Structure 1
Amino acid sequence: MSPFLGEVIGTMILIILGNGVVGGVVLNKSKAHNSGWIVITLGWGLAVAIAAYAVGGISGAHLNPALTIALAIIGQFSWSDVPMYIAAQLIGAFLGAVVVWLHYFPHWKATEDPAAKLGVFATDPAIPHRLSNLISEIIGTFILVLGILAIGANKFADGLNPLIVGFLIVSIGLSLGGTTGYAINPARDFGPRLAHFLLPIAGKGSSNWGYAWIPVIGPIIGGGLGALFYKVFFLT
């Protein structure tokens, strides 16, 4: 398998499991309905870990344009491969969202709230405030990239790194995710948001493109800052 296909499949797994747990919690008549934020954050952490286990040996399991760009900024990834990785991540995220739509097919009609349906696919702020929302995404992704780099510098038993990164995702979700839904990944938000826009989802509302730039720009800024911080303070 090529690194390109690895990133497609890995990101698809990430979205199937990550957006899937959101669907289980927010969509009506799901057996997991209203099971809460803890379930969502734990589901996302396990989604990241499983996706990383699946393709880590093939592509490095970036699964996130912000991480790919951050690694390139500090010289740990080739800039020439960045467009290929980002394209693969966006494709995988879109395909994963389509699978989630199919999985919950009868639940879209059973759910009246259009915002809940959009929330299965993409993030939105608890309190709309563009600057604060942007800062939240910057901080969350700063911690994500800094944490991933710091975890990678530690010695663990073979094969435990993806699981520890999964714990990092749970921690970010619990501590920082309540403001914006913690996209911390441009592909995770843009690919499924595009799927929401294109798919014939029963009773859907707006895809909220006016907000869509924040979970793209914020993570890219935060990831780059996190990588530079690690390079300056941990490696120098």
Structure 2
Amino acid sequence: MAEERSMEEGTVGNSREERNGVSIDEDADLSIAVPFWHKVVAEIFGTYFLIFAGCAAVTVNKSTKGTVTFPGIFMVWGLAVTVLVYAVGHISGAHFNPAVTIAFASCGRFPLKQVPAYVAAQVLGSILASGTLRLLFGGHRHLFAGTIPSGSDVQSFFMELIISCFLMFVISGVATDNRAIGELAGIAVGATVLLNVAIAGPISGASMNPARTLGPAIVAGRFESIWVYMVAPTCGTVAGAWAYGLVRYTNKPPRELTKSGSFIKSWRMKNGPS
């Protein structure tokens, strides 16, 4: 079962065990565990702060006629993901994205029974963040911070599909492979989001996340082309997770994989605690 794996592979940037549905850091006292409801609350807070920061950049840029600028917007999205991975990655896995959660579950790297609660938490966090921005800036149509295709739905669909696949491929590398440098996971994932928004932002809005689109859409009551942002990121992330599975070859079980993929752990093993 996924819950009995030696590593909770749905956690970004941390080598963890999951026992009886509870996450355990392998470097910590095994008596210290993370209850499931803590994970759910962490996902609510993490998604809230992510959507608030990213959508606030969009809203402020529109309300101040370009003060933030487009480069500023994609930098905010990338940096927000980076800092939040480090903030709560060790608690909930730092998904913040229903598509990522579903993708991990599809390849057996996340407990299927936990998916509904995670998805609900992520959507709730996005709705709360979007509602906060509506209270702060009003509900003017021109300040809408959701994602709507600038061209055809088909064009945006394939753009979202490809960038979501790219994102999940990177996440899978840093979250499921113990040979990766886990301490740099936040930087890797944040940089990927930054690149994707820079590439696809002007075309599709670079959602990559059904919750990111759904929250603003629900609050504003605008559901134009909503299917694109529900289907494409989900299909893309599932494809990305399975694509990494094709290249993640090892003839050893997880417990026998080297721990030296983390240069910080390697240094500690050689030099001892400071």
Give the structure-1-normalised TM-score.
Answer: 0.83
SS at structure 1 position matched to 2:173? helix
Query: In the alignment, what sits opposite 1:138?
Result: 161
SS at structure 1 position matched to 2:171? helix
Matching residue within 229, 232, 236 for 1:222:
236
For residues 63 and 170 of structure 2, what CA distance do their matches in structure 1 show? 32
How far has the Cα of 1:192 moved from its partner?
1.8
Matched, 1:64 2:88: no
Query: In the alignment, what sits opposite 1:185?
Result: 209
How far has the Cα of 1:155 moved from its partner?
4.2
How far has the Cα of 1:177 moved from its partner?
2.9
Q: Unmatched 5+ residue regions in structure 2?
A: 1-36, 251-274
Aligned residues: 212
**Once structures 1 and 2 are overlaid, which stretch shifts more, 185-194 or 143-152?**
143-152
Larger fraction in helix:
1
For residues 157 and 67 of structure 1, what CA distance do their matches in structure 2 show? 18
The amino acid across from 1:8 in the alignment is: I
| Shift in CA distance, 235/187, structure 1 to aligned 2, threshold 3 Å | farther
| Shift in CA distance, 131/14, structure 1 to aligned 2, threshold 3 Å | same
For residues 8 and 157 of structure 1, what CA distance do their matches in structure 2 show? 23
What pairs with 1:113-124 in structure 2 (closer than 5 Å)? 114=141, 116-118=142-144, 120=145, 122-124=146-148
For residues 52 and 94 of structure 1, what CA distance do their matches in structure 2 show? 20
Query: In the alignment, what sits opposite 2:191?
Result: 167
For residues 246 and 218 of structure 2, what CA distance do their matches in structure 1 show? 37
How far has the Cα of 1:97 moved from its partner?
0.9
Matched, 1:88 2:121: yes
The amino acid across from 1:37 in the alignment is: F
Residues 154-208 of structure 1 deviation map (CA, whole Å, 9 limit, x = unaligned): 64474x32133111111111123331011100011101210112xxxxxxxxx1x
Query: In the alignment, what sits opposite 1:12?
Result: 48
For residues 229 and 42 of structure 2, what CA distance do their matches in structure 1 show? 23
The amino acid across from 2:200 in the alignment is: L
SS at structure 2 position matched to 1:2? helix
Residues 90-109 of structure 1 deviation map (CA, whole Å, 9 limit, x = unaligned): 0000011112223334xx66
Query: In the alignment, what sits opposite 1:202?
Result: none
Query: If you compute each CA radius of gyration, which structure gives the higher value, 1 or 2?
Result: 2
Query: In the alignment, what sits opposite 2:108?
Result: 75
SS at structure 2 position matched to 1:177? helix
Query: In the alignment, what sits opposite 2:84?
Result: 51
For residues 166 and 224 of structure 1, what CA distance do their matches in structure 2 show? 19
Q: Unmatched 5+ residue regions in structure 1?
A: 198-206
Query: In the alignment, what sits opposite 2:14?
Result: none
| Shift in CA distance, 157/65, structure 1 to aligned 2, threshold 3 Å | closer
For residues 50 and 103 of structure 1, what CA distance do their matches in structure 2 show? 24
For residues 234 and 168 of structure 1, what CA distance do their matches in structure 2 show? 19
How far has the Cα of 1:34 moved from its partner?
4.2
For residues 182 and 157 of structure 2, what CA distance do their matches in structure 1 show? 37
Instruction: Check conservation: 2:173, 2:180, Cα contact below 8 A.
Output: no
Identity %: 31
The RMSD of aligned alpha carbons is 1.9
How far has the Cα of 1:54 moved from its partner?
2.5
For residues 155 and 177 of structure 1, what CA distance do their matches in structure 2 show? 29
